[in-house]
Structure 1
Amino acid sequence: MSLRITPANIGAVQGRPLFFDTNVLLYLFGSTSSTWANTYSSVFSQCLKMGNDLCVDVTVLSEFINRFLRIEYENYLRTKGLNKQQVNFKSFRSEPEGTQASQDVETIVKGRILNKFALVGKLFDVADINAISLVNSDFNDELIVQTCQQHQCVLVTNDADFSGANVDILTANNKLK
């Protein structure tokens, strides 16, 4: 049976590799502040102190970059009083604010994430993909679970979509069972 570990029991993951999900990276390196951001900042600090290997993969990096830019786009629309029909996402990317957001996320990924996290991966084959059921699940989430299983990582996530995942999870979200 897979374990669900809370920040209060973080010592249970000492010595184990930790795979950070996109939502936690956004709490750590995005521009939002919230209770979740504070909680996962504390978790991150404790993991660094314990010397855990921290991991991500290209799926998570892709999701992080895309979500970061979408958040900046939504902020841009809100601050300018615009809507998506007036400025679409692709057009935003050419605006000075979009260019700056792209530079910011590149700096975060290359200068902060990849300096602390190992890039792990899995070579997926047809059997791996055929084993994924998309009924009530997210394709990328299923890829993440398989990667964690291959590398024996504990998944660090706040995403309740992983509640039934067959992988150990470190989370502050009570909805993950």
Structure 2
Amino acid sequence: MKRLNILSNVNLKLLTLVIGLYFLTGFTAQAQNRTIQSQNQNQIDAQTQTDGLNGRQTLIQQLNLTRDQIQQIRAINRETAESRRNANQRQAQARQNLDSAIYAAEPNQADVNEKLRELTEAQVALTTVRVQNEFRIRQILSPEQLTKFIELRQRVAGKFGQTNRIFQNKRLRQSE
């Protein structure tokens, strides 16, 4: 019986170590991913400025947005600014809480699972806010403007080898 408890204790410690390493490598990879994404975004920003896509003004000109469309888009952005900010803050706080739970002096698996669930919910909330905002703006664009906007996004994304599910899905639908 004592031997069984020792083995159980060893297995529990080993399992905790494996889970800890799993999360550690996952968060390290995630941090590297964020760094790469940030670098890619900086490259995109720099490249778009040289391509004549710099800033909102040029995008407005290239899409030939009307004054009414510009006002509608600005109104949407104002309406959703607080919810976007709150969702971003919630996600950042949830990520920090999960990190704290993982690296606590005495980590608790139930606490880690709870913090992971909270982070997942925060990510879903943030994605929902972003998608709803983008969808509302998309409805303002005429079919020609939408086509032009998709082309501009594809061109920028294509220069840096980025793939975008929206464009992949569009290509799939077109090929059917």
Q: Which has the higher contact order (CA 8 A, sep 6+)?
A: 1
Counting helix residues as a fraction of each chain, which structure ranks higher?
2
TM-score, scaled to structure 1: 0.29
Counting strand residues as a fraction of each chain, which structure ranks higher?
1
Q: Between Structure 1 and Structure 2, whose CA radius of gyration is higher?
A: 2
TM-score, scaled to structure 2: 0.30
